[in-house]
Amino acid sequence: MRGRAWLAGCAVLALAACAPAPAPAQITTIGQLGAAYVAAGGECTDLVEQYRASEEEPVVAACGDATELVLAADADEALGIATQRQLQEQTVLVHDRWVIRDPEVQALQQALGGEVVTLAPADGPANMADAIAFDAEGVVPAEPVPAEGEPAAPPPAEGVHDILVVIDPDCEYCDRALAASGGALEALADAGEARVSYLPVSLGDQIGNGYASTLGANALACVADAAPEAYRGFQGALLAHLQEHAFDADEVTALAEGRGAEVGDCIGTARFAWWVRQATVRAIEQPLQGVEPLRGVPTIIVDGATFGGDVGDPEALAAFVAEQPVG
């Protein structure tokens, strides 16, 4: 992972956690990092360097289950490692080439500098509670979901079809579904024949894909929040892109900018990663459209009935929509 594909702790921690700290000393070996950790008050002194399968892998020294020191090849790799740890709901201290995971990272920061980064509760995006919806008037406004709250129930879709599309940004069949029927779904909404909602979830995170599910869903949330009119075009472009590439914040930012959404900082800091996690849990645990919890992606629900046909067949989906009684 390169560029800004990481979660900035200063966006989600209390202000005191981001107070100025001394400039960290230049560290070029795992021994220097271990010595700096101990000198800064680190309590786990039995650090053991871990086995590496190749010289290209980062150098890791660990002590028990709670302390880990990582020396990466460069700052970009360190940020990628920080992203991995944060998406595993771990708090780390990062600067330049090194990453430290330890229960006392806040205290260590006072001596070592760097930034404490974590995945912490934060409000969700505007216009997405939890799905972003479109009808004949465009985006259906929705208040952000509070960090520790639940989304408000959407009003009934009266006189039109109510269509919910659940996707994972890194899902091949989700890409096929949007490529096949995305234009038709947009046309139904724009013509006032349906309210079409899109819910991005995170089910497929892997180190190899750059945590594309969570970070891709966050990117969609960023666009929904700041430039909702660009959402549908960006969503199709993002899913197609992620079938060929691991998530890269700079590349995804360029995709958004190409559709009129200036959301680079939001994408680079994964501002809505907390919301992505909570929205995914809600989708898995709570019935969607009153039918059943999420069982996989893509899921397309029309007026309370789940489409069971080929998501790559636009005629089959169109016929399914036509068969459903309008509420």
Q: Tell me the CA end-to-end span of the chain in Å, nearest whole number.
A: 46
Alpha carbon distance 88, 85 (integer Å): 5
Nearest to 303 by CA among 323, 285, 282: 323
* Residue 27, pLDDT above cutoff 70: yes
* Residue 301, pLDDT above cutoff 60: yes
Helices and strands (H and E) in the chain: how many: 10, 12
Residue ranges of domains in the chain: 9-117, 132-323
Please give the mean pLDDT across all residues of the chain: 90
Residue in this structure with the two tokens 């999420």, named with its chain if needed: 294
Alpha carbon distance 60, 123 (integer Å): 34
pTM as predicted: 0.80
CB 105 within 8 A of CB 91: yes
Peptide bond into 123 cis (omega under 30): no
Secondary structure (3-state) at 60: strand
Residue 129: pLDDT band with limits 50, 70, 90: very high
Residue 104: pLDDT band with limits 50, 70, 90: very high
* Residue 158, pLDDT above cutoff 50: yes
* Residue 14, pLDDT above cutoff 60: no
Secondary structure (3-state) at 70: strand
Residue 84: pLDDT band with limits 50, 70, 90: confident
The pLDDT tens digits for 264-274 are: 999 988 899 99
- The helix or strand, by DSSP H or E, that contains position 94, with its residue range, turns out to be strand 92-95
Cα distances from 185 to residues 100, 192, 304, 321, in angstroms, run 47, 11, 17, 10
* Residue 8, pLDDT above cutoff 60: no
Angle between helices 249-257 and 212-226 (to 10 degrees): 30
Please tell me the least confidently modeled range out of 74-78, 206-210, 258-262: 206-210
Backbone torsions φ then ψ of 71, nearest 5 degrees: -115, 115
Cα distances from 20 to residues 7, 49, 94, 95, 119, in angstroms, run 19, 31, 14, 13, 21
Residue 4: pLDDT band with limits 50, 70, 90: very low
For 31-51, the DSSP string reads HHHHHHHHHTT------EEPP
CATH number assigned to the domain covering 132-323: 3.40.30.10
* Residue 22, pLDDT above cutoff 90: no
Arithmetic mean of pLDDT, 304-316: 97
The pLDDT tens digits for 49-81 are: 999 999 999 999 999 999 999 999 998 888 878
The pLDDT tens digits for 241-259 are: 999 999 999 999 999 999 9
Question: At a CB cut-off of 8 Å and minimum separation 6, what does 213 contact?
Answer: 168, 169, 170, 201, 202, 203, 204, 205
